[in-house]
Amino acid sequence: MRTILEQPDSQPDNAINVHYVALSPENRVEEFLATHPNVQQYLLDAREPLHAAFGKAIDKVSVIATTNPEMMDGEFLLCRIQTPLSAEKALACLNTFDESWDLENSQRVEGRVIFNVTFSPA
Protein backbone atom coordinates (compact mmCIF):
# COMPACT_ATOMS: atom_id res chain seq x y z
CA MET A 1 0.00 0.00 0.00
CA ARG A 2 1.54 3.27 -1.12
CA THR A 3 0.34 6.85 -0.74
CA ILE A 4 -0.35 8.48 -4.10
CA LEU A 5 -1.26 11.97 -5.30
CA GLU A 6 0.21 13.82 -2.34
CA GLN A 7 -0.24 17.53 -2.62
CA PRO A 8 0.76 20.04 0.04
CA ASP A 9 -2.19 21.86 1.52
CA SER A 10 -2.25 25.56 0.76
CA GLN A 11 -3.45 26.30 4.29
CA PRO A 12 -1.72 23.99 6.81
CA ASP A 13 -3.95 25.24 9.65
CA ASN A 14 -6.96 23.76 7.84
CA ALA A 15 -5.17 20.64 6.63
CA ILE A 16 -7.34 18.37 4.52
CA ASN A 17 -7.06 14.85 5.83
CA VAL A 18 -7.92 13.05 2.58
CA HIS A 19 -5.09 10.72 1.59
CA TYR A 20 -5.23 8.34 -1.35
CA VAL A 21 -3.40 5.02 -1.08
CA ALA A 22 -2.94 2.55 -3.93
CA LEU A 23 -3.73 -1.07 -3.14
CA SER A 24 -1.93 -3.99 -4.72
CA PRO A 25 -0.82 -4.00 -7.38
CA GLU A 26 0.09 -0.32 -6.93
CA ASN A 27 1.65 -0.13 -10.38
CA ARG A 28 -1.77 -0.66 -12.03
CA VAL A 29 -3.12 2.41 -10.24
CA GLU A 30 -0.05 4.47 -11.13
CA GLU A 31 -0.19 3.30 -14.78
CA PHE A 32 -3.90 4.18 -14.92
CA LEU A 33 -3.22 7.67 -13.53
CA ALA A 34 -0.35 8.19 -15.98
CA THR A 35 -2.63 7.19 -18.86
CA HIS A 36 -5.53 9.35 -17.64
CA PRO A 37 -4.13 12.67 -16.31
CA ASN A 38 -7.67 14.09 -16.07
CA VAL A 39 -8.37 11.43 -13.41
CA GLN A 40 -5.34 12.59 -11.40
CA GLN A 41 -6.68 16.15 -11.34
CA TYR A 42 -10.20 14.95 -10.56
CA LEU A 43 -8.96 13.03 -7.50
CA LEU A 44 -6.94 16.01 -6.32
CA ASP A 45 -9.95 18.29 -6.81
CA ALA A 46 -12.16 15.82 -4.89
CA ARG A 47 -10.08 16.09 -1.70
CA GLU A 48 -11.74 19.29 -0.48
CA PRO A 49 -15.34 18.20 -1.19
CA LEU A 50 -14.63 14.83 0.47
CA HIS A 51 -13.29 16.65 3.50
CA ALA A 52 -16.34 18.93 3.52
CA ALA A 53 -18.69 15.93 3.42
CA PHE A 54 -16.88 13.63 5.87
CA GLY A 55 -14.87 16.04 8.02
CA LYS A 56 -12.19 14.22 9.99
CA ALA A 57 -14.05 10.92 9.64
CA ILE A 58 -11.88 9.70 6.75
CA ASP A 59 -9.04 7.36 7.63
CA LYS A 60 -7.88 7.07 4.03
CA VAL A 61 -9.17 6.51 0.51
CA SER A 62 -7.97 3.17 -0.86
CA VAL A 63 -7.69 3.13 -4.64
CA ILE A 64 -7.67 0.06 -6.84
CA ALA A 65 -7.64 -0.20 -10.61
CA THR A 66 -10.18 -2.69 -11.82
CA THR A 67 -12.05 -3.58 -15.00
CA ASN A 68 -15.60 -3.85 -16.22
CA PRO A 69 -15.97 -5.84 -19.44
CA GLU A 70 -19.22 -4.00 -20.19
CA MET A 71 -17.37 -0.70 -20.63
CA MET A 72 -15.69 0.03 -23.95
CA ASP A 73 -12.41 0.96 -22.27
CA GLY A 74 -13.20 -1.17 -19.26
CA GLU A 75 -10.63 -0.03 -16.70
CA PHE A 76 -11.62 2.34 -13.89
CA LEU A 77 -10.63 3.29 -10.35
CA LEU A 78 -12.59 2.21 -7.32
CA CYS A 79 -12.00 4.63 -4.44
CA ARG A 80 -13.03 3.21 -1.08
CA ILE A 81 -13.44 5.85 1.60
CA GLN A 82 -12.43 4.21 4.86
CA THR A 83 -14.29 5.69 7.81
CA PRO A 84 -15.07 4.90 11.46
CA LEU A 85 -18.62 6.22 11.01
CA SER A 86 -21.66 3.99 11.26
CA ALA A 87 -23.02 2.70 7.96
CA GLU A 88 -25.96 5.10 8.10
CA LYS A 89 -23.77 8.17 8.75
CA ALA A 90 -21.14 7.11 6.21
CA LEU A 91 -23.75 6.68 3.49
CA ALA A 92 -25.25 10.07 4.37
CA CYS A 93 -21.79 11.66 4.01
CA LEU A 94 -21.24 9.87 0.69
CA ASN A 95 -24.62 11.17 -0.46
CA THR A 96 -23.61 14.70 0.54
CA PHE A 97 -20.37 14.36 -1.44
CA ASP A 98 -22.25 12.98 -4.47
CA GLU A 99 -24.87 15.73 -4.44
CA SER A 100 -22.55 18.63 -3.65
CA TRP A 101 -19.69 17.80 -6.02
CA ASP A 102 -19.35 14.36 -7.61
CA LEU A 103 -22.50 14.33 -9.74
CA GLU A 104 -21.55 17.66 -11.30
CA ASN A 105 -17.93 16.69 -11.88
CA SER A 106 -17.96 12.98 -12.74
CA GLN A 107 -18.36 13.66 -16.46
CA ARG A 108 -14.80 15.04 -16.39
CA VAL A 109 -13.54 11.47 -15.99
CA GLU A 110 -16.18 9.71 -18.10
CA GLY A 111 -17.20 7.29 -15.36
CA ARG A 112 -13.64 6.14 -14.69
CA VAL A 113 -13.84 6.84 -10.93
CA ILE A 114 -16.30 5.36 -8.46
CA PHE A 115 -16.41 6.35 -4.79
CA ASN A 116 -17.92 4.13 -2.11
CA VAL A 117 -17.46 3.66 1.63
CA THR A 118 -15.81 0.94 3.64
CA PHE A 119 -15.48 0.71 7.36
CA SER A 120 -12.45 0.84 9.63
CA PRO A 121 -11.76 -2.37 11.51
CA ALA A 122 -13.15 -2.18 15.04
Quick: pLDDT tens for 25-73. Answer: 778 899 999 999 999 999 999 999 999 999 999 989 999 999 877 765 6
Quick: pLDDT tens for 59-70. Answer: 899 999 998 777
| Domain spans, the chain | 16-119
Pairing of strands 2-4, 20-22: antiparallel
Rounded CA-CA distance 83/120 in Å is 5
Quick: pLDDT tens for 103-116. Answer: 999 999 998 999 99
pTM for the full predicted model:
0.84
**Are the C-beta atoms of residues 4 and 22 closer than 8 Å to each other?**
yes
Rounded CA-CA distance 39/70 in Å is 20
Rounded CA-CA distance 21/47 in Å is 13
What's the CATH number for 16-119?
3.30.70
